[in-house]
Structure 1
Amino acid sequence: MDAIMPLALPLLTTRPELGQADLPTLVAFYEACEQADPRDHAPTLDQLQHRLDHPPPGGRHRRQYWETADGQLVGVVNLWMTDPRTDIPPEPSLPASFAPPTSQEKSALGPYPPVVNGHLGIMVHPSYRHQGLESTLLDWAENFVQTYGQTTQRDGPIPVYLRATVAQDRTVEQESYGAHGFQMVRCFQTLQRSLLLPVDAPSWPAGFGMQRADTVQVEDWVALFNDAFVDHWRFVPLTVAQHQHRRQSPTYQPDLDWVAVAADGTLVGFCTAHIPYEDNARHHRQEGEITLLGTRRGYRRQGLARAMLLYGLQQLQAAGLDTVMIGVDRDNPNQAKALYESLGFGLKESWLNYFKVFT
């Protein structure tokens, strides 16, 4: 029997997204991809419009289209890249009570070197997959980020760190990244837990408690976040402008955003949850997510993360939800996955992180 050869791609043209006028076409494209590969990730027109109307500060977002001669959208590249000229994080700050940092911690804490951090996503229409278009999209993306990196140089070459996330079962897409020199370096997982099961009451270490995050200064929360995540893989420091943008977003839910506070007023941890009301209504479900959970260095191994997570689960349970998700780095150095599993979370899906450096 003769081997089955892939169909030859038609002549395609590429162009950048033009804005609001392109959104209905993009929604239809995402829906076609969702039907072929159901993951409940297809955005609605309102969600895309919201992202267009409320872009995050700094950096640069680029969405590139590939179309057939009759205007059918068959391929999309999404790129988000920081700009070291403007995305300048605050200098690291630690509470005065902290022990002096080790040499390794000093290196991690800053000052932060100028780099470009990029996130890449490619998507191909189901009818045009596995015919070479994936490689075309990656070629374009690599050329674009290298040119972008050159435009952001100040006092010499700046490395560009490009990351892409691929579902663990998408082997062809993984092969495409591998063929372009990307290396699979990390696995992130989405865990889930039923909220129909009992949730234990949090047990707080003496002198610690929770309060809403919107009661503290933005600058203090950003310092807390950066101190908590500085030892995580590929840590990218948060800026004040980025956190202000999150708080000002129409989708921000301040009643689901909390900080843990010590008796002396020091911010020691945070827990943020989110209820996607629109998606829940669209898919006839009652799900929520713990989107952020972190403990400041120097306050770990005291039970704070467990207490904060239980507090968040209680609030979501009280809101009438029946399922909660949380994301985790499978190789988190602080045993986060073991904590989540001890509280009843189990694996839902895995995502592979591919990484490439351009210098």
Structure 2
Amino acid sequence: MRPCTDGDLGAIAELFNACETVDQTGIWETVERLEQALNTPSFNRAENLRLWENSEGELVGYGSVWIDPSQDGIDGFLNFRVHPSVRNQGLEEEIISWGENRLKEATKDCNGTVKLYSGARSDRGDVITILQNLGFIAVRYFFRMKRSLAKPIDEPKFPEGFKLRIVEPEKDAMQWVEMFNQTFIDHWNHHDYTVEEFLHDCQHSEYNSDLNLIAIAPDGTFAAFCESRIHAEDNKRNGRNEGWIGVLGTRRGFRQLGLGRAMLLTAMQHLKTKGMDSAILGVDAENPSGALRLYESVGFEKVLTNISYVKNL
């Protein structure tokens, strides 16, 4: 086990893609995308990321812990990968153990709860067994859903007086982040987004301003939002033209007006205009604002399930 350096990004991408060849999630890795993620302002790469090599010096394991304050303590989110050639030989347990110890070390002065989260796709029985054997409990289910854009898309209907426009990051950052946090504050496991993180994400090479939309109320309040992205490398490797509806929400106080549906339909139209054949999104199966029903009502269908696991430390 050792820390990560900038020179490791290519090897990490190769490890992730070796896993993807077997796991077939549809999500591939690039050095550029990795660099963007690992340079997120809130992430401490030196302390919270470790790599594992075999005796030949080949990278076979990856673990990172993202640490965020929660409403009653501190949460950690463990992301790990193990090369298919050495799976189920004890390396998964070693990485998870490191993640637990790292979170304990980082939260030794915390007086509230400390929880470590990780996840597994529902058909990855090997990972599920390992997590359960180590004391993790399934707490939430998330669906990936897909919808063909070849089928007719209803015309979006916005409430009277609401205006739709694209986001201007430098100008809109504070209002956008405040809207985002107010929208998701009542959702499971919400962690506040920061202006710094928002501006960082808008610098991503795959960020497309045409696909970052907000609906503004007659009084000027940012009321609803939807950002979509097109991952060119994924589409190239998968031989498909798919666009992701990454984040969609309606601020409290403006729900039940049809804004969410209008934003979703607009995003679908924009993806189709850019040549996408289908739209993909992820949703909390127990979303309190009825997002799952909304997606099903416009033709999205579940294609896989991801399970969130937690261990109270």
Please tell me whether the aligned partners of residues 261 and 269 of structure 1 are also in contact (alpha carbons under 8 angstroms).
yes
The number of aligned residues is: 310
Aligned partner of 2:78 in structure 1 is 120
- How do 1:64-83 residues align onto structure 2 when only pairs under 5 Å count? 64-82=50-68
CA distance in 2 between counterparts of 1:127 and 1:79 reads 24
- Written as runs of structure 1 = structure 2, the 5 A alignment for 1:166-177 is 166-177=120-131
Identify if the C-alpha distance between structure 1 residues 193 and 257 changes in structure 2 by more than 3 Å, giving closer, same or farther.
same
Q: 1:224 aligns with which of 137, 159, 179?
A: 179
- Give the CA deviation at 1:117: 2.6
The answer to whether 1:269 aligns with 2:207 is: no
Verify the 8 A CA contact 2:121 2:305 in the aligned structure 1. yes
1 CA distance for matches of 2:16 and 2:254?
43
Cα-to-partner distance string for 1:9-68 (whole Å, 9 max, x where unaligned): xxxxx1122x2322332233223222222223231234334445xx11124243212222
Q: Sequence identity of aligned pairs in percent?
A: 37
- Change in CA separation of 1:305 and 1:50 when aligned onto 2, cut-off 3 Å: closer
Q: 1:348 to 1:225 in 2, by over 3 A?
A: same
Amino acid at match of 1:292: V
Match of 2:142 among 178, 188, 191: 188
| One-letter amino acid of the counterpart of residue 199, structure 2 | Q
1:56 is aligned to 2:40: yes
Deviations 1:224-279 (A, max 9, x none): 00111011001111111111212233332111111111112111111111111233
- The answer to whether 1:28 aligns with 2:14 is yes
Q: CA deviation at 1:287?
A: 0.9
Does the CA-based 8 Å contact 2:27-2:234 persist in structure 1?
A: no
Shift of 1:342: 0.6
Q: Cα distance, 1:212 vs. partner?
A: 1.1
Question: Residue 188 of structure 1 contacts residue 327 of structure 1 at CA under 8 Å; is this kept in 2?
Answer: yes
Residues 261, 319 of structure 1: CA spacing in aligned structure 2 closer, same or farther, 3 A cutoff? Answer: same
Residue 220 of structure 2 aligns to a residue whose secondary structure is: coil
Cα distance, 1:158 vs structure 2: 4.3
TM-score (norm 1): 0.81
Q: Give the Cα separation in 2 of the matches to 1:35 and 1:204.
A: 43
Render the CA deviation track for 1:92-132: whole Å, top value 9, x for unaligned.
xxxxxxxxxxxxxxxxxxxx757333211222222221222
The aligned counterpart of 1:109 is: none
Q: CA deviation at 1:181?
A: 1.5
**Hey, what does 2:89 align to over in structure 1?**
131
Closer, same or farther: CA 248–185 of 1 in aligned 2, 3 Å: same
Partner of 2:31: 45
Which amino acid in the other structure matches residue 23 of structure 1? L
Paired with 1:247 and 1:273, the residues of 2 have a C-alpha distance of 12
Structure 1 letter corresponding to 2:63? V
- For each residue in 1:194-251, what CA deviation from the matched residue of structure 2 results, as whole angstroms up to 9, or x when unmatched? 0111111111122222111217521111110011101100111111111121223333
Consecutive unaligned residues of structure 2, counting only runs of 5 or more, are none
TM-score by length of 2: 0.92
Which of the numbers 283, 301, 304 marks the counterpart of 1:328? 283
Structure 1 runs not aligned, ≥5 long: 1-13, 85-111
CA distance in 1, matches of 2:201, 2:73: 23
Compared CA separation, residues 42 and 217, structure 1 to 2 (3 A): closer
Letter in 2 for 1:291: G
